[in-house]
Structure 1
Amino acid sequence: MKEFGYQRALDVPGALALLDADADARFLGGGTNLVDLMKAGVERPSRLVDVRELPLDRIEPTADGGLRIGATVTNSDLAAHPGVRRRYPALAQAVLAGASGQLRNMATVGGNLLQRTRCGYFTDVTKACNKRVPGSGCPAVEGEHRNHAILGASSHCVAVHPSDMAVALAAFDAVVSYETAGGPGELPLTEFYLPVGGTPHLETALPQGALITGVTLPPAPVAALSRYRKVRERASYAFAIGSVAAALDVRDGVTREARLAFGAVASKPWRARAAERVLTGAPADAGTFAAAADAELAAAEPLPHNAYKVTLMRNLVVAVLTGLAEEAAR
């Protein structure tokens, strides 16, 4: 591991100033991803600016009935918060599915959003990787890609985003707040992650040197009936090979509103807009649910060894939506 400096920031302006003074510095939250990448030689910061002591560790209601989640809130505290569990249950479920208890106790909301892909070519510095070394190639396209993207990928990168939490946040129209030396800013989560295209090393739309300060969930009554379901290769702590965050408002057997997002199928949480359009105003039954899944997955471009994900996601969507519809009918 490269030798690095360490400083603890006590306020947001101080944190921004420390990063501005050192172009190779990085913000440190829980470190559950960044430190691992430093050990592997993927990340080589000159300095870590610890932001855990910043006053960004609260979950508070907003004036319009949503929730504001501070960037240094731990995943454990987020999943346990009564307002999250009651009003956005899929978010609590996603966080609990995302890691071991020890990791959830350390990991932060801001860090979770910024975690890097677990693609083996990315984490192995002896291999080529466009995300790590632009222009070096993407060996996953012809190599090991069983767990890689089927939506929104390109010939330059087929890696998937690893976050469970971000999938639920995408379904509920979350907005990411950040601070820069020039002032504050906001990005809808659906615009936070950049398309892969030919520049997979550019992962988010955050300005250079920006510090994530929080995430806002707008009021969403539909989210009260929501679920997150994750499929993985083993039942213990593991990254998803496919996941769904879904919410339904069903009245008299008809879907009045639907929210749907997919995980582990693209370089970012995949908001399933086409599926939502099929669901809205249609009977809440297995036929509609299958048609909605098919509408979204029509854009899939699987590789030879991950085509199974199309069938997996179709079945997963139908199962999750069926469960929600049955719960709504009780």
Structure 2
Amino acid sequence: MNNFAFLRAENADDAVRAVNANTHAAFIAGGTNLIDIWKYNLRHPELLVDINHLPDCSAITETVDGGLRLGALVTNADTAYHPLIESRYPLLSKAILAGASAQIRNMATDGGNLLQRTRCYYFYDANAPCNKRVPGSGCAAINGYNRIHAILGASEHCIAVFPSDMCVGLAALAAVVNVTGPNGERRIPFADFHRLPGDQPDLDNNLQHGELITSIDLPPKGFEQNYSYLKLRDRQSYAFALVSVATGLELDGDVIKDARIALGGVAHKPWRVAEAEESLKGKAATPENFAEAAAVILRGAKGYEHNSFKIELAKRAIIRNGMMATEPESQRPGAKPSL
């Protein structure tokens, strides 16, 4: 039996104060991941602070610069099917709908999606060493069964991957995360929100204790004309990515004016390489040019005993998804891209 106290917060300031006052307190909204890790005895909150009733966090609104603001409490399902997301940010809609199951998307919130823990099986096994769970205990995955693990940005302390699909889309769109905490409000560029493992793999992101995500801002550019999200996994239903790719292109004919490429399933955070995106500008959208960009993105990739296949898989996925982005209609069920 896990005994805990429960507090319903009526505003963000009250929620922040309550969690900041107790190192074993946690915010709860949809709870789809928190309850999982609690059941596995990985976390034991003494206080749950219910944030589901906070004002101004449950809507999708337009911003003064022409973008959109996603309230942190909007569900993944409501975000994916929102008319403005479907029409202006279809890449994000596709990424969300590739993740989890319909039931989970109906419960999970946009803010919570950013805070998912890894699905590394050693993290969930209390009998296995895991630096993410118990710092300094070791990483069982490095010499264990590591089929789903990282090929980029890993360290000797951790090779876990970040599991979110939605966040791969947000990374490609260069979203901004708005948070409030004991020291006030701040805006965090999406590229700076999640962390690589380094020597502190127990830290998934750069939030401080007591900080609360209030919203996520999408910039005006949504790549609504040329986009694609490709998720490669062991089964089509309810599985995490071995490799996923979010691609947004701005084209002038077949010439690339702007490009965004983000990968999931390959690192401790969504993976973007600005150099690769810049290298595509002014070039034709061809398999050869996407292959050159893929080589830059995968520079330094390292496989382990069971996941070395991911390097070639990621390369092919980048090329295929780049070509799919030139033909968004190819993503309809039953359709095939020209590549």
- TM-score after normalising by structure 2: 0.94
CA distance in 2, matches of 1:245, 1:253: 19
Partner Cα distance (1:85, 1:108) in 2: 18
- 2: CA distance, partners of 1:256 / 1:249: 5
1:189-241, CA deviations, whole angstroms, 9 ceiling, x for partnerless residues? 10011221111012211122101101001111534421211111111111111
Contact 2:272–2:297 at 8 Å: present in 1 too? no
Return the offset for 1:20: 2.2
C-alpha distance in structure 2 between counterparts of 1:192 and 1:155, whole Å: 22
The answer (yes or no) to whether the contact 2:225–2:250 under 8 Å persists in 1 is no
Are 1:247 and 1:259, in contact at CA under 8 Å, matched by a contact in 2?
A: yes
Give deviations 1:88-130, integer Å, cap 9, x for gaps: 1110011111111110110001110001000011111121100
Q: Given residue 178 of structure 1, which amino acid in structure 2 is its aligned partner?
A: V
Q: Distance in 2 between matches of 1:86 and 1:134?
A: 44
Q: Which residue in the other structure is 2:243 paired with?
A: 242
Q: Which residue identity does 1:13 align to in structure 2?
A: D
* Residue in structure 2 matched with residue 5 of structure 1 by the alignment: 5
Instruction: Tell me if the contact between 1:86 and 1:224 (Cα under 8 Å) persists in the aligned partners.
Output: no
After TM superposition, the structure 1 stretch with the greater mean CA deviation from structure 2, 272-281 or 12-21, is: 272-281
Asked if residue 324 in structure 1 is aligned to residue 319 in structure 2, the reply is no
**How many angstroms apart in 2 are the aligned matches of 1:252 and 1:107?**
39
What does 1:231-310 correspond to in 2, within 5 Å? 231-310=232-311
**Given the alignment of the two structures, is residue 158 of structure 1 paired with residue 159 of structure 2, yes or no?**
yes
- RMSD of aligned C-alpha atoms? 1.6
**Residues 122/221 of structure 1: CA separation in 2 closer, same or farther (3 Å cut):** closer
SS in 2 for 1:116: coil
**Is 1:20 matched with 2:20?**
yes
More helix by share: 1
Q: Is the 8 A contact 2:17 2:210 kept in 1?
A: no
Matched, 1:44 2:44: yes
- Secondary structure of the corresponding residue to residue 122 of structure 2: helix
Distance 1:312 1:97 in 2: 18
Q: Is the 8 A contact 1:89 1:225 kept in 2?
A: no
Residue in structure 2 matched with residue 129 of structure 1 by the alignment: 130
**2:61 aligns to what SS in structure 1?**
strand
- Once residues 297 and 270 of structure 1 are traced to their aligned partners in structure 2, the CA distance between those partners, rounded to angstroms, is 10
Report how many aligned residue pairs link the two structures: 330
Q: For 1:30-80, what per-residue CA distance to the aligned partner results, in whole angstroms no more than 9, with x for missing partners?
A: 010000100100111111111111121100010111010010000010001
Aligned-partner residue type, residue 128 of structure 1: P
Q: Which residue does the alignment assign to 1:79? A: 80
For residues 272 and 29 of structure 1, the distance between their equivalents in structure 2, rounded to whole angstroms, comes to 33
Q: Name the aligned partner's letter for residue 29 of structure 2.
A: G
CA contact (8 A) 1:222 1:257 kept: no
Q: What one-letter code is carried by the residue in structure 1 that aligns with 2:5?
A: G
| Matches of 2:297 and 2:37, distance apart in 1 | 34
User: Which residue number in structure 2 is paired with residue 35 of structure 1?
Assistant: 35
Contact 1:88 1:226 in 2 (8 A): no
- Please give the per-residue CA displacement for 1:278-297, whole angstroms capped at 9, x wherever unaligned: 21111111110111111211
The whole-number CA distance in structure 1 between the counterparts of 2:225 and 2:18 is 41
1:274, distance to aligned residue in structure 2 (A): 3.1
1:88 and 1:224 in contact (8 A); partners too: no
Between 33-42 and 220-229, report the one with greater CA deviation.
Answer: 220-229
Identity over aligned residues, as a percent?
47
Any unmatched runs of 5+ in structure 1?
none
Distance 1:64 1:278 in 2: 28
> Which of structure 1's runs of 4+ aligned residues deviate more than 4 A?
none
- Counterpart amino acid of 1:148? H
